[in-house]
């Protein structure tokens, strides 16, 4: 351990201590019953540094539901498969609306604003599916996630997928609306089934921080995505990764990030570090409450920022 790494370990420990001192954790996502049952008073943080070393605090080996963080991996896979054609079906602008909003879809003729709101993620998964069996597309996403994190012990939680399948009326509405605009090329139920299962992937913060290496350009990262696409994915994470809370996240943290309603966060400090944080209680945007605070403390203490 270098002196800097020892300092960083102190910083991370004190962030975890601060989080556990607070009594306000936010509430886990209520609309997916399996997630609503998770104890909110949990926290984990893992930081993977340029040399590939991972420093953690809290419970970094506890798997959690990555939910919308899977949209980053699906996007990487879709860009690899269909390349720039994806942008004819989904935009690159922040939406300023909640993650599951329908309102802009009608105004903009069924072309979702970006690949990180649900409508845009459903289109991205649909592009990745492209007529195949859902299990093949899922194997591709899961294989990519395992390759990026360098870990084979990453799985889909079928109970979480089934839970969302049962209650996911909003996503079904989005998928059928996309279909009415001919922006869905598979049967809605097949695309949705794939999407719900990709969201139900479980990872630990250690695995997720490792998976971010390719986007952060760190040593030892597998070459799964071109440099051009890395920049674009990071730009989208910065502008759209936290939905209508993206501006607030950029203001407070200053780094590209992607949240999920499972309370996870993936944060990229280009050429410096890949950070994963988890705490299942959410703020009013549906992003991790304690996780966002921890990210803010980390960027302040380290001076990591793209600005």
Catalytically active residues, by annotation: 68, 71, 195, 243, 261
Tell me which of 260, 280, 281, 291 binds ligand GLN, using CB under 6 A: 260
Question: Which residue is nearest to ligand GLN, using beta carbons?
Answer: 68
For ligand GLN, the binding residues in 34-53 under the rule CB under 6 A are: none
For the CA atoms of 132, 171, 42, 158, the dihedral, rounded to the nearest 10 degrees, stands at -40
243 is in an annotated binding site: yes
Contact 55, 209 (CB under 8 A): no
Q: What would the x/- binding string for ligand GLN be over residues 285 to 304, using CB under 6 A? A: -x------------------
- 218 near ligand GLN (CB under 6 A): no
- 261 near ligand GLN (CB under 6 A): yes
- 241 near ligand GLN (CB under 6 A): no
Backbone angles phi, psi at 117, to 5 degrees: -75, 160
Distance CA 220, CA 52 (A): 7
DSSP state of 156: E
Tell me which of 18, 100, 248, 296 binds ligand GLN, using CB under 6 A: 100
Tell me which of 79, 144, 199, 269 binds ligand GLN, using CB under 6 A: 199
Tell me which of 68, 125, 283, 292 binds ligand GLN, using CB under 6 A: 68
- 249 near ligand GLN (CB under 6 A): no
Least distance between ligand GLN and beta carbon 68 (Å) = 3
176 is in an annotated binding site: no
Closest alpha carbon to 119 in 190, 156, 170: 170
Nearer to ligand GLN by Cβ, of 286 and 291: the residue is 286
Query: In Å, how far from its chain's centre is CA 29?
Result: 15
Per DSSP, the residues of 83-136 read GGGGGGTS--S---S-TT--HHHHHTTT--S-TTSHHHHHHHHHHHHTTS-HHH
Distance CA 250, CA 263 (A): 18
Query: In Å, how far from its chain's centre is CA 303?
Result: 23
**Residues that bind ligand GLN in the complex, under the rule CB under 6 A:** 67-68, 99-100, 118, 164, 171, 199, 260-261, 286
The binding site consists of: 68, 118, 164, 171, 195, 243, 261
The binding site for substrate consists of: 68, 118, 164, 171, 195, 243, 261
């Amino acid at each position: 351990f270098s002196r800097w790494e020892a300092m960083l370990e102190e910083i991370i420990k004190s962030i975890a201590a601060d989080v556990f001192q607070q009594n306000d954790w936010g509430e886990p996502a209520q609309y997916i019953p399996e997630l609503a049952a998770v104890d909110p008073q949990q926290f984990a943080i893992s930081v993977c540094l340029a040399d590939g070393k991972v420093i953690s605090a809290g419970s970094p080996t506890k798997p959690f539901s990555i939910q919308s963080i899977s949209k980053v991996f699906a996007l990487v896979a879709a860009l690899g498969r269909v390349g720039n054609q994806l942008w004819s079906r989904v935009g690159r602008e922040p939406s300023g609306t909640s993650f599951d909003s329908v309102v802009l879809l009608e105004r903009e003729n069924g072309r979702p604003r970006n690949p990180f709101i649900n409508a845009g993620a459903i289109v991205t998964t649909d592009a990745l599916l492209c007529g195949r069996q859902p299990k093949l597309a899922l194997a591709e996403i899961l294989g990519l996630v395992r390759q990026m994190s360098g870990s084979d012990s990453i799985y889909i939680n079928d109970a979480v997928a089934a839970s969302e399948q049962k209650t996911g009326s909003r996503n079904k509405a989005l998928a059928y609306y996309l279909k009415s605009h001919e922006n869905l090329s598979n049967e809605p139920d097949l695309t949705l089934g794939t999407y719900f299962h990709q969201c139900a992937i479980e990872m630990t913060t250690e695995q997720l921080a490792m998976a971010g290496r390719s986007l952060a350009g760190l040593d030892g990262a597998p070459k799964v995505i071109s440099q051009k696409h890395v920049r674009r994915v990071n730009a989208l994470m910065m502008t759209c990764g936290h939905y209508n809370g993206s501006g607030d996240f950029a203001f407070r943290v200053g780094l590209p990030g992607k949240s999920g309603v499972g309370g996870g966060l993936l944060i990229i400090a280009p050429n410096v570090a890949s950070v994963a944080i988890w705490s299942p209680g959410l703020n009013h945007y549906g992003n991790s409450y304690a996780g966002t605070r921890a990210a803010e403390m980390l960027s302040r203490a380290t001076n990591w920022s793209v600005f």
